[in-house]
Structure 1
């Protein structure tokens, strides 16, 4: 059980919880502090209750306790950071490093690796067909729903498959992938996700729908994306979402609303310049 406290602490921080939040009604905050500092071995009942509050299983906790799993999580988080700022070459370098170490064994990790390989194939190699092939391979992997991030990964894969199909002019395929992605977002526990990159779904799908003049559905998608960003307190892709919203308002000649959204857009640009 050595170092299990470190894993518990990482899960707590990832969920934005304080020691008081996690321990309340389960154990004292001081006991949790000792557990996280590996000064006390928790009993199974306490571990079960802590895991339940974190929304994970004991199996997940013990799996993430493995050194390789902790190592991989840090590198995948780093690749998501590179994705947010458009550093695709760094993503490829990280993928190559992980391939050399041959430690991406679990299906959930292989699925994410395919997603990032697809991203690199498109943004670095400019090969949408190759990118879609990587994404389809990722979608073919059956990942247990018990894993944290299962829905997030599948939504990202489906949304990117929609984008690649659209780029290649396969409108029907793109619509199918986007529908699956959007439906999954609406039916899964999206409110509990912290993956800000899901904003790509709303930007990609919204752009696709506007291009094909399906403005009513596009506005529904964009409005949900704006709501998602507010929930996440995230600026990621917010500018693109606001620009799409303005295009739809302009199409309906709702000038007063356009002015308000343009003010928001200018405010976002000022924040980026800080």
Structure 2
């Protein structure tokens, strides 16, 4: 077993032994595996490998061009993207060479992930839009797949965060129309990736409405997102959803109790899902909110 491949993957994604083992095993168990070759139980090893985008079989092979391997890397990168773990997502995508992706579906997933990471991390405008253009003008010219909607979403986010709201409006209008057309779907039976991608689109649509001070609409969309999360018992979108609800309540002049409740819920979900970024955001907003209450007394 190539334990060094495991160690290299962990370090390339920025995981410490404590972070990687969290919720799976003790740090001591992981250390014994990496440093002394003491292999843990199959269940533990599978979970550790899955978190790194590896399989146990891949520890015994060196086939970076395997399609199955590349798809697993992209699926894991997409999960990190949805959790806002951008360094991990970037690290995984660096292992994927687009020339090894023959199927248009795989190519679209790659360019969508590259573009969305750029949009959410303030990447270069031209480079980010190039990835979305590959989907919209080449790989899905008739705009029949969900990747076109994700390309619209990423383009809208990019323009909105750069303050070009006229451009953002154009793309978000397409996303919102798509969401409205699919609002009555039974999400408890939906294909997993389509389901998760649609929740993500719904959240960012709510964020877009809030950015334009359409708070009642934003809150309605957030309620829809919560209902979608419940359909398949997904919790890792809830920290951001609850935080946005709290921000909306503050901007709308909501009651002190309602704001505190929403901030508490955001913190609980953030800790449950190990969303350190949201934890910091909630703590900062709560501190500012409580200071404002004191100053207004």
Q: Which range, TM-score by smaller chain?
A: 0.5 to 0.7
Distance 1:190 1:70, change over 3 A: farther
Matched residue, 1:175: 169
Aligned residues: 203
C-alpha contact 1:89 1:120 (8 A) present in aligned 2? no
Gaps of 5+ in 1: 1-66
Matched residue, 2:232: 232
When normalised by structure 1's length, the TM-score is 0.61
Out of 138, 153, 160, which is 1:159 matched to?
A: 153
SS of corresponding position for 2:95: helix
Distance 1:267 1:91, change over 3 A: closer
Matched residue, 1:208: 208
Q: Distance in 2 between matches of 1:177 and 1:259?
A: 34
Alpha-carbon offset, residue 162 of structure 1? 0.9
Alpha-carbon offset, residue 223 of structure 1? 1.7
Which is further off, 215-224 or 198-207? Answer: 198-207
Mapped pair 1:217 → 2:217: yes
When normalised by structure 2's length, the TM-score is 0.57
Matched residue, 1:137: 134
Alpha-carbon offset, residue 256 of structure 1? 4.9
Q: Distance in 2 between matches of 1:248 and 1:165?
A: 22
Alignment of 1:112-127 (within 5 A): 112-122=109-119, 126-127=123-124
SS of corresponding position for 2:140: coil
SS of corresponding position for 1:98: coil
Alpha-carbon offset, residue 225 of structure 1? 1.7
Structure having greater relative contact order (Cα 8 Å, sep ≥ 6)? 1
C-alpha contact 1:129 1:164 (8 A) present in aligned 2? no
Gaps of 5+ in 2: 1-64, 276-297
C-alpha contact 2:83 2:236 (8 A) present in aligned 1? no
* Root-mean-square deviation over aligned CA pairs: 3.2
Alpha-carbon offset, residue 215 of structure 1? 1.6
Out of 103, 111, 116, which is 1:106 matched to?
A: 103
Distance 1:168 1:262, change over 3 A: closer
Matched residue, 1:261: 262
